Amino acid sequence: MRLLPAIDLIDGKIVRLTEGDFNTEEQYGDPYEKLKEWQGRVPMLHLIDLEGAKAGEPRHLDVVRFAKTCGFFVQTGGGIRSEEALDAVMATGADRVLLGTKAFTDPDFLDRALAKYGDRVAVALDAYDGIVAVNGWQEATDLKDIDAAKGLVDRGVKTILYTDIGSDGKLNGPNLERMKALREAVSVTLIASGGVTTEADVEALQAAGIDEAVVGKALLSGQVSLDDLIEWEARHA
């Protein structure tokens, strides 16, 4: 299983939220310093523009560009709701770009993105109690996560990042029930996000057939170290 250290950004700072609530913001320093610290130690990075997700347009493209100069495989997203924004993010050299809100509110936009950029386009499927949320997790839809995932695959999406909002930032493990249900429903690359805290979490996700997992607050808060992540990934390759 591949593990992706996560950096979430607001106002040029690394932050973590709990359940996507902007009132729970905790700051973890400068992203450029963190990227230099991680450079050469891990190959992949999950870089999310939370400020952009809330505003509806990317706000941290400079950080994405810097991450690419450091040699990371960069998965990034947040606020990509126009073709101009998508082109701008792709122009940074990002390897995998996550569409969120727009993928569900404007399926034609998703189709055009896939036609233009192919497998570099992935979709962030964020859900609370199995119900898809959009607009920076601030608005619930009437879509169920399994139905949404199947619909994305039908449109040609090859990678889905699933975030269980109820687990995010709580350090109490991923929602294995939802991850297993998604794995049974779709056969594309599936990435787990939310609550991944221990090696046991990694083992459980791997046993469920999950391809990749994002590790955020547990790493930034010091509950696990980057060395831990590197060792876990090596043992579960």
Task: Give the residue numbers marked as catalytic.
Answer: 8, 126
Structure tokens at 76: 């990034």
The answer to whether 8 touches 14, Cβ cutoff 8 Å, is: yes
Give the Cα separation of 123 and 169 in Å (integer). Answer: 20
**55 contacts: CB under 8 Å, gap ≥ 6:** 79
Find the farthest-apart pair of alpha carbons in the chain and give their distance in angstroms, rounded: 43
Render 118-151 in DSSP notation, one character per residue.
Answer: GGGEEEEEEEETTEEEETTTTEEEEEEHHHHHHH
Q: Vertex 140, ends 134 and 141: CA angle to 5°? A: 85
**92 contacts: CB under 8 Å, gap ≥ 6:** 61, 64, 65, 68, 74, 76
- Give me the long-range contacts of 153-158 (CB less than 8 A, separation at least 24): 153/186, 153/187, 153/188, 155/107, 155/110, 155/111, 155/114, 156/111, 156/114, 157/103, 157/110, 157/114, 157/121, 157/122, 157/123, 157/188, 158/119, 158/122, 158/188, 158/189
